[in-house]
Amino acid sequence: METLPFEIGETAHALRRAFDRRAVGLGVTRAQWKVLFKLTRTPELRQIELADILEIEPITLTRIIDRLEEAGLVERARDPDDRRAWRLHVTAKAQPLIEKLHAIGAELVADAFSGIDPKDIEITRQVLARARENAGRTASINRAMNQ
């Protein structure tokens, strides 16, 4: 059981690397496609919110957004509630690229999980969701005890 977190991490790493190999010709880095995916799922995030979600430093995200903006894939808009902040969204120009990235992801998932019973996949999803929930609860309790 003690190696299970390591195995989960290694599996995630293998999937990311396989995705990178398949997406190499599209001209975006892993960091850039992570930003595009997150903004597609959650548009109009503030830069600071996105940095927190992606667990990267705000200055690092600023550089990534700068490059995506220069490529015409992301736009910044002033936050109407805080003039110091920016809201981010993907552009229409980014949509074909995002569709290609989604297709690569779907193909990767089909290949990676081929031969695995869909019932086993669903059980795995439920177990992982419960583990995330338990880990989040434990982190909250530890933070409260340290205050």
Domain shared by 43 and 103, yes or no: yes
CB of 42 closer than 8 Å to CB of 54: no
Residues of the domain holding 130: 116-147
Domain shared by 139 and 70, yes or no: no
CB of 86 closer than 8 Å to CB of 77: yes
**Residue 145 pLDDT:** 60
Domain shared by 93 and 145, yes or no: no
pLDDT digits (tens, 9 = 90+) for 21-33: 999 899 888 899 9
CATH number at residue 44: 1.10.10.10
Domain shared by 86 and 17, yes or no: yes
Which of 76, 77, 65, 74 lies closest to 94, judged by CA?
74
Separation CA 3–CA 136 (nearest Å):
20
Domain shared by 93 and 123, yes or no: no
Separation CA 23–CA 43 (nearest Å):
23
Indicate the number of domains in the chain: 2
Domain shared by 48 and 82, yes or no: yes
Domain shared by 18 and 51, yes or no: yes
Domain shared by 103 and 38, yes or no: yes
CB of 23 closer than 8 Å to CB of 105: no
Residue 120 CA to its chain's centroid (Å): 24
Q: Which has the higher per-residue pLDDT, 137 or 62?
A: 62
- pLDDT of residue 144 exceeding 60, the answer is no
Domain shared by 34 and 52, yes or no: yes
Domain shared by 122 and 88, yes or no: no
Separation CA 53–CA 38 (nearest Å):
9
Please state the rounded mean pLDDT for residues 14-24: 92
> Confidence class of residue 107 from pLDDT cuts 50, 70 and 90?
very high
Domain shared by 88 and 61, yes or no: yes
